[in-house]
Amino acid sequence: MEVLEAAQKEKAEIEKRLGFGYEHQEVDSQLAEIFARDAEKSALIIEDSIKSNFRSESDLQTYIINVHAMKSALANVGKHELSAFALRLEQAGREKDINVLLSESKQFLEKLYETINEIRPKTEDNEDKNDTEDSLAYLKEKLLIIKEACDSFDKKTAKKTLNELREKTWSHNKKELINSIAEHLLHSEFENASVSASTAIKQL
């Protein structure tokens, strides 16, 4: 009995470290937006691969690449059970077990779309159609700060300034710009973030 209890305790500690059982952790809004956008793209590609019935090696490799990407992304947003599901499908793909892929991928996609809808920030309906002159001046000022921060590899200042921009409501195009810079920063692509900010400043 003591051996069993010790084993159960060890399993619980491992799951805690891995994040299992914490499926409802709060996801940072920046990460949530990036996840939703990337997951939608991968889901469509996975869906196309399934429709092709994996007739070619290219279809199978494309499927594996995108399921692998979702495995990591789902873990990053705390969806560890679905991440484990993606791992199973990735392994089946590498083993060319087409029966498993065809029988289980549909369920994975359903759960993935549910996760996308759950995590996606609910702000789209509140976007202003046009940015005011004052808001554009504010945006230009903040983009300049972000550019200078990226040029000096000051991620903390750049991220803080981006968060300040996110507190306001922007038109779709400006929001896409902010998301693009945020994604570069997430991957520590300072030069790309700086170029994006600089280009946007010239266009304002």
pTM exceeds 0.85 for this model? no
Q: Find where tokens 């990036």 sit.
A: 34
Contact 67, 86 (CB under 8 A): yes
The answer to which of 8-22, 38-52, 181-195 has the lowest mean pLDDT is 8-22
6 has pLDDT over 60: no
Contact 55, 69 (CB under 8 A): no
Contact 196, 184 (CB under 8 A): yes
Integer CA distances (angstroms), 138 to 75, 141, 143, 204, in order = 36, 5, 9, 11
User: Tell me: the pLDDT tens digits for 132-179?
Assistant: 888 889 999 999 999 999 999 999 999 899 989 988 888 878 888 888
Each residue of 145-165: b (16+ CB within 10 Å) or e? bbbebbeeebeeebbebbeeb
**More confident call, 134 vs 24:** 134
Per-residue confidence band for 68, with pLDDT thresholds at 50, 70 and 90: very high
17 has pLDDT over 60: no
Alpha-carbon distance of 63 to 140, in angstroms, equals 41
How many residues does the structure list for the chain? 204
Contact 35, 79 (CB under 8 A): no
Query: What pLDDT, on the 0 to 100 scale, is given for residue 123?
Result: 54
Domain coordinates in residue numbering, the chain:
21-119, 126-203
User: Tell me: the pLDDT tens digits for 75-99?
Assistant: 988 899 999 999 999 999 999 999 9
Alpha-carbon distance of 192 to 174, in angstroms, equals 17
Q: Find where tokens 């750049």 sit.
A: 158
Q: What is the dihedral of CA 161, 165, 166, 171, to 10 degrees?
A: -150
